[in-house]
Amino acid sequence: MTDFEYTVIKPFRNFPIIDFSSPEDEKRMREAISRVDSKLGEEYPIVIGGKEFHTDRKITSINPAKYDESVGVVSKADRELAEKALETAWEAFKEWKKWPAWRRAEVLLKASEIMKDRAYDLSAWMVKEVGKNWVEAWADVAETVDYLEYYSRQMLKYAEGQPVHQIPGEKNEYRYIPLGVGVVIPPWNFPLAILSGMTLASIVTGNTVVLKPASDSPVIGYRFYEIMMEAGLPDGVINFLPGSGAEIGDYLVSHPKTRFIAFTGSKDVGLRINQIAAKHQKGQIWIKRIILEMGGKDAVVVDETADLEAAAEGIVVSAYGFQGQKCSAGSRAIVVEDVYNEVLELVLEKIKSIKMGDPIEKENWFGPVINNAAVQKIMGYIEIGKKEGRLVTGGKYLGEELKGFYIEPTIFSNVDPKARIAQEEIFGPVLSFIKAKDFNEALEIANGTEYGLTGSLYSKDRNRIERAKEEFHVGNLYFNRKCTGALVGVQPFGGFNMSGTDSKAGGPDYLLLFMQAKSISERVI
C-alpha cells in the first residue's frame, strides 16, 4: 500500500454481523471449524522483538465445552522475559514513534483486510477456545475489524493537531505525541475484540506495547499478533508475552519503565493494578497513566407501559448472551410490581427455548462458562441465592453429563435489591428478578450498586425516558433494547464508578488516553 491509496478514505462503516441463516455462511463456518480442529493442541511461542522464545513452563488452553480437549499450548513467560519485553519495546519505540500517522494507520487498514478474509476461521477459534456461539464469535471478529478501521481514521484526525489562537509575532501549534511503552492486559471473554481494541489504540498513536493475553485465551491472542505482523508491523511494536498475573502482571505494572497500563477485567484486579501503578518506583520519571474497564451489575428496568414481550426478550439476551460472561450483562431485571409476574412468566417461557450444548453446533446458543474456577464461583453464588431469593429455574451444574463447564440459565425471584446476588458481579448465567413499587423506586434500585456500566429501560413513557437520560447513572444507557452489544463508533463503551475509568472504547476521544499534548510556540523573526 502506498501513501496515495489512503489519501482519501471512505467514511467508517461497521463490519456486518451475520446470523448464519444463509446455507453458504453455515457451510463456510463448518469448514472453518474443521480447519481449526486440525490445528488443535499446537504449541505457540512467546515473541519479543520478532524473536521466538520457548520455555519449559506452559499454559494449556482448554476448550470449555469439552474439557478434555486442548486448544493449544503456549510458552509461559517469567520476569526475565518480561524485563526483556519492556526493554525491547522501548527500543522499538524510538523508530515507531517517528512513523507518520498515515503509515501507522496503513498497517491497521491492511490488517483489517486480512481479518475480514479470516473472519470465519477466527470465529471458529473463539468457538473452541472460549465457548462462544457462532454469532457471538462473529460479532467479536466484527468488533475487531471495526477497531482497525475506526482507530485508523481517528488517528489521521488527531495527526492534524488542534487549532489554537495565533498572536502577532508567533507561530503556535498544538500537537499530540505518544506516551511510550504500555502494558496491555485483556480479558478472555472478548479475546479478540478487547485485546485488539486496547492494543490497536496503543500502537496507532505511536506507542509500543507488551501484550499479556489472558491465560484462558492465549491462542486467539497469538492469531491477532500473527495478523498484525503479516500486515507489516515492525518487530517489537507488539511483544507477545503470555504469563500469570501474579508473576509477570504485577511486575510489569509496577515497573518504573512502564508508561501506561490498559486493562479490562474484574473490579478486584483493576483496583489492584491502580494501587500498584500509583506507587512511585525508583527511577520512574512519570505518573503512570491507567486505563481501566472493570465490572458491572447491570440492570434491565421494565415499567408498566413497556412492550412486555420485547422486554422479556431483551432480559433473556442481556442476561444469558455468552452465558452471562460479559461486564455488560443484564444480571438484574428490575420490574415494577404491576407487570412483575407477567414479565417473569414471559422470561421463563423464553428460557425454555434456549438450546444448551457445545457451540460447535450452530443451534446451541448457550454454551459453557470458561473454566472450573468460574464454575465454583458461580455455583457458590447460586447457593447464596437460594438463601436470598426464590430459585425459579436452573441452578444446576451439568459438567459431568456434558463433559464441559455447563451451568443452567438460572433465575432467582423476590430478590432484595441489597442482596449479595443483586450487588456483586457473578459473571455467569444468574439473573436476579427484583420487584419495584413504581418507576421511581425502579430507578433508585438500578442506581443502587457500586457499578455504573450499562443499563436498559423498557418504557413507552417519553417523560420517563427523558428522566432516565439524566438520572440512570451508567456509561452506556439503552432504551427499549438489550443492554449488551455496543458498536464501535456508534455506542462508545465504558462505565462509571467501580466499572472503570469511563474510557469509552470505540469513541472519538479514546485515542487521547494513549497520547499527550504538546504546545509549541515559535517567535517569528
The pLDDT tens digits for 177-189 are 999 999 999 999 9
Rg (CA), the chain: 23
**What is the per-residue pLDDT for 525?**
87
The label of the residue with cell 514513534 reads 97
Q: What is the mean pLDDT of the chain?
A: 97
Name the DSSP class of 184.
E
Name the DSSP class of 231.
T
213 vs 20: CA distance, rounded Å:
29
- Structure confidence by residue, pLDDT tens digits, 68-118: 999 999 999 999 999 999 999 999 999 999 999 999 999 999 999 999 999
- What is the pLDDT averaged over residues 227-242? 98
**Residue 270 scores a pLDDT above 70:** yes
Q: What is the dihedral of CA 250, 252, 253, 256, to 10 degrees?
A: 130
pTM of the predicted protein model = 0.97
Look at the chain and count its residues: 525
**Residue 5 scores a pLDDT above 60:** no
Among the four given CATH numbers 3.50.50.60, 3.40.309.10, 3.90.950.10, 1.20.1050.10, the one describing domain 299-487: 3.40.309.10
Catalytic amino acids?
293, 327
- Phi and psi at residue 71, in whole multiples of 5°? -85, -35
Residue 411 pairs with which residues in a beta bridge?
393, 431
128 vs 195: CA distance, rounded Å:
17
Cβ–Cβ under 8 Å, residues 501 and 512:
no
Domain extents in the chain: 4-9+46-53+77-294+503-520, 299-487
**What is the per-residue pLDDT for 9?**
83
**What is the per-residue pLDDT for 6?**
46
Q: How confident is the model at residue 472 (pLDDT cuts 50, 70, 90)?
A: very high
**What is the per-residue pLDDT for 8?**
66
**Residue 3 scores a pLDDT above 50:** no
Task: Residue 432: name the closest of 441, 421, 442, 443 by CA.
Answer: 421
User: Exposure of 67 by Cβ count < 10 A (0-12 exposed, 13-18 middle, 19+ buried)?
Assistant: middle
341 vs 76: CA distance, rounded Å:
51
Q: CB-based contacts of 400: which residues, under 8 Å, 6+ apart? A: none
Q: Which helix (H) or strand (E) holds 289?
A: strand 289-293
Helix, coil or strand: residue 279: coil
Among the four given CATH numbers 1.10.3720.10, 3.40.50.300, 3.40.605.10, 3.30.2130.10, the one describing domain 4-9+46-53+77-294+503-520: 3.40.605.10
Cβ–Cβ under 8 Å, residues 62 and 180:
no
494 vs 51: CA distance, rounded Å:
35
- What is the pLDDT averaged over residues 241-263? 97
- Structure confidence by residue, pLDDT tens digits, 126-157: 999 999 999 999 999 999 999 999 999 999 99
